[in-house]
Amino acid sequence: MIRKNLRIGLVGATGMVGETFIQLLNEEKVSVQELRPFASEKSLGQSITYENKQWPIQILKPDCFKGLDLVFFSSGDPISKEWAPEAEKSGAYAIDNSAAFRMSDNHLLVTPEVNGHLLAENPQPQVIANPNCSTIQLVVALNPLKKFGLKKVHVATYQAVSGGGKEAQNELTSQMKNLSENKKIQAPQDFPHQILFNCIPEIGGFDEQGFCSEEMKIINETKKILQLPKLQISAFTVRVPVLNGHSEAVWAEFEKDVTREDVLAAFREQEGLKVIDNPKNHAYPHVVEASGKNPVYVGRVHKDLNLPNTWIFWVVADNIRKGAALNGLQIAAKLF
Ligand SMILES: NC(=O)c1ccc[n+]([C@@H]2O[C@H](COP(=O)([O-])OP(=O)(O)OC[C@H]3O[C@@H](n4cnc5c(N)ncnc54)[C@H](OP(=O)(O)O)[C@@H]3O)[C@@H](O)[C@H]2O)c1
């Protein structure tokens, strides 16, 4: 983890990702010289407690990043677009959780266990993009399979409501509460339909070809991070009534004919990836176990009956930890 005593800014400190970021700093006992939390005007007057000190919430304004070494952004695309370059101009590294810079040719998109070496090759303060939560766990599982000649990937996701932020998570819990109190389930606000007892095949807006933006993020970001521009990859994303933790069913086709032992051995060698694979004893990854933990988990590894050299597996991770805050901290750890 980060060893230097840094001056850290945290934009979106009161959100799901921001709060998890503070929790991770606590768990890793990271000492800071300064913590400068930012949120919207409605949070002014609140403060963040860290290392027995109160750090008052501030709002974004000119020169607000002065003196900081590192600024984490988790307040959505428009805020990152406007303010992350300001952090860079003031001499800080900006690690951005939004989609604003991910596909830019001028910015790194980093999952440290996969392409962290790029950070050492580009050591000056800059805006570094954190990939989409569903992409991060997918690339950690796909990276060790590149040596088999990874040709084609199909992924279907089962994504938790926490991926939509605090308000989205509250929508599921308040629908549950109303149901348990025999009240009418309130109309959806963050989701297009009731999320309780439902699966919604829509995450982000749709394009002309019928893909929603979450699917296109997975497709484009995976190719960029794995440096496989010709990878044939398709994604179908679904929001499910799970509080926290994303799951993915993956079909991966290789050039090479390999055994199950080859695939398992490759997974076991990958940093950040844990194999749980004994399905007959009900041992495979699932979100109840994975939520609140740091690794990406993989299991249910088996060969497709019809598709040549195609392997099927199940990938699970905590979307706020490895999918956002932890990945950002790991980037920082490589920088400092
Ligand atoms: N949740 C996930 O699993 C996940 C995973 C990967 C990436 N991300 C990305 O991370 C970002 C944040 O997600 P989240 O889940 O943490 O959302 P969230 O729970 O809704 O939190 C949003 C944060 O942004 C702050 N904010 C809003 N307006 C602001 C402003 N004008 N100036 C400064 N801060 C402002 C909010 O402050 P107030 O409390 O004052 O409103 C809050 O701290 C998004 O870009 C999201 O796509 C999320």
pLDDT in tens, 273-331: 999 999 999 999 999 999 999 999 999 999 999 999 999 999 999 999 999 999 999 99
107 in any annotated domain:
yes
Q: Give the per-residue pLDDT at 7.
A: 97
The answer to whether 243 and 266 are in contact (CB under 8 A) is no
Q: State whether 50 and 32 are in the same domain.
A: yes
Same domain, 64 and 213: no
* Residue for token pair 């690339």: 139
Secondary structure class of 320 (helix, strand, coil): coil
246 catalytic, yes or no?
Answer: yes
Question: Coil, strand, or helix at residue 65?
Answer: coil
Query: How many C-beta neighbours within 10 Å does residue 317 have?
Result: 34
126 shares a domain with 43? yes
* Same domain? 99 vs 201: no
Continuous segment of H or E residues that includes residue 174:
helix 166-180
| Range 221-229 average pLDDT | 98
Buried b / exposed e over 25-43, threshold 16 CB at 10 Å, is beeeebebeebbbbbeeeb
pLDDT at 2: 80
Do 300 and 328 lie in one domain? The reply is no
CA gap 217, 75 in Å, rounded: 18
In a domain, 1, yes or no: no
**pLDDT score, position 192:** 97
In a domain, 60, yes or no: yes
Residue 251 CA to ligand 1 centre (angstroms): 32
Instruction: Flag whether 122 is in a domain.
Output: yes
CA 217–ligand 1 middle distance (angstroms): 18
Average pLDDT over residues 107-114: 98
- 142/291 same-domain check: yes
Q: Find the mean pLDDT for residues 85-101.
A: 98
From edge to edge, which strands make up the β-sheet containing 70-73? 32-38, 6-11, 70-73, 93-96, 127-129, 108-109
- Total tally of structural domains belonging to the chain: 2
Report field, pTM of the whole predicted structure over 0.85: yes
Here the CATH number for the domain that contains residue 86 is 3.40.50.720
Q: How far is the CA of 74 from the centre of ligand 1 (A)?
A: 5
**Which protein residue has the closest C-alpha to ligand 1 atom 8?**
97
Asked if residue 56 is part of any domain, the answer here is yes
149 lies in the same domain as 80: no
Longest dimension (CA), the chain: 61
Judged against a pLDDT cut of 80, whether residue 8 lies above it is answered with: yes
60 C-alpha to ligand 1 centroid (Å): 14
Residue 181 domain boundaries: 135-319
Whether residue 186 is contained in a domain is answered as yes
What whole-number distance in Å separates Cα of residue 149 and Cα of residue 159? 28
245 and 107 in one domain?
Answer: no
Cα–Cα distance measured from residue 116 to residue 130, given in angstroms and rounded to the nearest whole number: 11
**Reading across the β-sheet that carries 232-239, which strands appear in turn?**
232-239, 150-159, 246-254, 310-317, 296-303, 273-275
Residue located via tokens 């799970």: 242
Q: 85 and 214, same structural domain?
A: no
Assess contact for 294 and 326: CB atoms under 8 A.
yes
Q: Which residues surround ligand 1 with Cβ inside 6 Å? A: 11-18, 38-40, 42-43, 60, 74-76, 79, 97-98, 133, 162-163, 165-167, 319-320, 323-324
Residues 6+ apart with CB under 8 A from 25: 32, 50, 329
Kind of pairing between the strands at 150-159 and 232-239: parallel
Q: What is the mean predicted confidence (pLDDT) over 34-50?
A: 97
Residue nearest to atom 22 of ligand 1 (CA): 15
Q: Which tens digits make up the pLDDT trace of 112-169?
A: 999 999 999 888 999 999 999 999 999 999 999 999 999 999 999 999 999 999 999 9
The 10s digit of each residue's pLDDT in 226-270 is: 999 999 999 999 999 999 999 999 999 999 999 999 999 999 999
Question: Is residue 205 in some structural domain?
Answer: yes
H/E element, 243: none
Together in a domain, 174 and 125: no
User: Could you tell me if 228 and 150 are in contact, meaning their C-beta atoms sit under 8 angstroms apart?
Assistant: yes
Mean pLDDT (the chain) is 97
- Burial of residue 273 (CB within 10 Å: 0-12, 13-18, 19+) is buried
Residues 144, 254 within the same domain: yes
Same domain (yes/no): 124, 167? no
